[in-house]
Amino acid sequence: MDSIIIRGNGTLNGAIPISGAKNAALPLMIASLLSSEPLVLENVPRLADVEALKDILSNHGVDYRVGGKRPGDAVTTGRRISFRAETIVDTTAPYDLVRKMRASFWVIGPLLARCGEAKVSLPGGCAIGTRPIDLFIESLKALGAEIDIDAGYVSAKAPNGLKGAHYTFPKVSVGATHVMLMAASLAQGDTIIENAAREPEVGDLATCLNAMGAKITGIGTSTLKIQGVTSLHGATHPVLPDRIETGTFAACVAMTGGDVMLQNARPELLQNALDVLKQTGTNVEILNEGIRVSRNGGDIHPVDFTTEPFPGFPTDLQAQYMALLTRAKGVSHVKETIFENRFMHVQELARLGADIAIDGQMATVTGVERLSGAPVMATDLRASMSLVIAGLVADGETEVNRVYHLDRGFELLEEKLSAVGADIKRVSA
């Protein structure tokens, strides 16, 4: 099994290209099930989750074709992939495929809408909380679906098609909003979704669906209105840049010092996180080509923040920013409100010398003068990056094990960090 070896060696300088967003690419790929015509996605990242979802979609009859390199393409240039679900050959998503990634459960929406039935295994993914499927089920029931759960599978039927409805989510859910948005696009009549997730990835999906012929308004707000259509056609759509990767590399620069341009990054996708970063004493400059992050010589200031649905501070950056605060000059407080079990990285950061105390949803981080390299273990996708960030400044050598978590969400991580001066490499056991 691969591991990543890091030696703390000073500042980062140069440029890092930001990849297409994993959290946008996955629902966009699933949206290809809604049409018999090709959906061409641009700027698709090279990630384990993307490859796994390609296999899942193939099981349903989706053909895909990866475009070749074009003149001027770098190794980090996102791929162009065409997906075509001309015929749905199987409406069952088996456990062996779905267990690998929670987002694969989302195929239930388009399969149900297009075929009138779907049987999908209960999902897997990172062990960061229960993340129940109640919101998915209730929102699909509101559209007229008949749903049963038995032997680890969710079976949904709508033999006469889905019907438009007015539904209010009792709690904001990005995944359930994705699923209801896709299902409602082919429902009969109008649908209004209240308390919808406002995350940029939801807006990206809605924009793509509109390009495919859907009629969705209210994009970017908590109220989405969908006028159902009988069918969707093909389209070409670029995946938006990854705001989590942007915030992660920004934290790397803030931790180590230096000056790095995050190319193609869009500040409006993570403004709250950038505001928190500025409070740590890090310089953030918005330019035409992206976001320039720098910290030259000054201390890292302590800061308090709370994770919240967009436009608040993203839970997917909580672990990375906590790692940054382990070297702050003072005490910081981090409150996690999205997932109940997302402090698993704390015990691993403690192995590197971090001083963090947990009390329920609150983590109190007391900054230390130095961190020391040690073997550590990744526990989930985002937590893995907190260990990398700490390792960039730790004395000696840090070995991050179980890096398959990283491969799920960070494209060419070692190459990108090495290019700006990090001493980081992957080794195989």
Per the annotation, binding residues are 22-23, 102, 131-135, 171-174, 316, 338
Is-catalytic flag, 115? no
Identify the CA nearest to 157 among candidates 173, 137, 172: 137
Contacts of 17 (CB under 8 A, 6+ apart): 74, 76, 77, 263, 264, 416
Find out whether 365 and 356 touch, Cβ atoms under 8 Å.
yes
- What is the Rg, in whole angstroms, of the alpha carbon atoms belonging to the chain? 22
Name residue, tokens 């080509």: 289
Binding site, annotated residues for phosphoenolpyruvate:
22-23
CB count within 10 Å of CB 90 equals 13
Contacts of 292 (CB under 8 A, 6+ apart): 259, 260, 261, 262, 283, 284, 285, 286
Whether residue 311 has a cis bond before it, omega within 30° of 0: yes
d(CA 145, CA 108) in angstroms, rounded, equals 11
Q: In the 8-state DSSP scheme, what is residue 356?
A: E
Q: Give the active site residue among 115, 126, 208, 252.
A: 126
Identify the CA nearest to 387 among candidates 6, 2, 29: 6
Exposed (0-12), middle (13-18) or buried (19+): which is 383, by Cβ within 10 Å? buried
Q: In the 8-state DSSP scheme, what is residue 264?
A: T
Binding site, annotated residues for UDP-N-acetyl-alpha-D-glucosamine:
102, 131-135, 171-174, 316, 338
In this structure, are strands 423-428 and 2-7 parallel, antiparallel, or unpaired?
antiparallel
d(CA 108, CA 117) in angstroms, rounded, equals 8
Q: Tell me which amino acid residue 113 is.
A: A
Interhelix angle 200-211/174-185, rounded to 10 degrees, is: 10
Q: Tell me which amino acid residue 412 is.
A: L
- Which residues form the catalytic set? 126
